[in-house]
Amino acid sequence: MNLQRLYEELEKHYDVKGWWPYSDPWEVMVGSVLTQQTNWNNVMTSIEALRKEGLLPVKAMAAADREKLEKLVRPCGFYRQKAQRLQDLAIYIRDDFGADPVSLLRRDDARELLLSRPGIGPETADSIMVFAAGRPYFVAAAYCRRVLSRTGVINSDDYGEVQEFVHQQLGRDSVRLSSLYAMIVEHAKRYCLARPNCRDCFLAEPCSLIARER
């Protein structure tokens, strides 16, 4: 199956408008850091707890007591690292960008600057770029590499290679790139799990040869 066909098939089944529940750029950045290795319900629990305690804004988070931050992000797991990463990012934006995340996200080198921060890898940086900044980056997360490989679109587990392939095939269109990511995540959670449910999957026909070969 080629990527265009996969996109069209997914589009018939998933409506991902408003898929990312936060639109404020800083809240998207916080969510992107917290969502590493956890599910979205835990992220929302922590974001709402931070909001309730008045520690969600950049300046408040930068100045927050670390132990309190750790307690609030605990539902997301790896809470010490995540609290540290969030506070580092908040301090960086407060000190270098006047506490305005958009000033950072508008820069041509925004992705590189994000990647220079501790604990922010390509997946988190690209999630911020596309969902917080509306910039055209595909998040080639493990879910995506799994579905793209199983459906025969591209058989690679290399983040950069898969991202570049999708950029070339789909074009640098932030709406299409973010939609593809969201649709694949939904598909990976519902059907294409670690142990795939091919029997019920609507892609079984175009994907069947690949599925049988596994």
**Which residues contribute to the site for ligand SF4 (CB under 6 A)?**
147, 150-151, 191-192, 196-198, 201, 203-204, 207, 211
Residue 196 Cβ vs ligand SF4, minimum distance, rounded to whole Å: 4
Given the complex with ligand SF4, which of 44 and 198 has the nearer CB atom? 198
Residue 193 Cβ vs ligand SF4, minimum distance, rounded to whole Å: 8
Given the complex with ligand SF4, which of 94 and 150 has the nearer CB atom? 150
The rounded distance, in Å, linking the Cα atoms of 130 and 96 is 22
Residue 203 Cβ vs ligand SF4, minimum distance, rounded to whole Å: 4
Query: Which residues, in sequence order, are CB contacts of 15 under 8 Å at separation 6+?
Result: none
Residue 13 Cβ vs ligand SF4, minimum distance, rounded to whole Å: 11
Given the complex with ligand SF4, which of 61 and 148 has the nearer CB atom? 148
Three-state SS at 120: coil
Q: Is the torsion defined by CA of 188, 189, 191, 194 positive or negative?
A: positive
Rounded to the nearest 10°, the torsion over CA 210, 122, 174, 58 is 140
Given the complex with ligand SF4, which of 175 and 209 has the nearer CB atom? 209
Given the complex with ligand SF4, which of 13 and 107 has the nearer CB atom? 13
Residue 83 Cβ vs ligand SF4, minimum distance, rounded to whole Å: 36
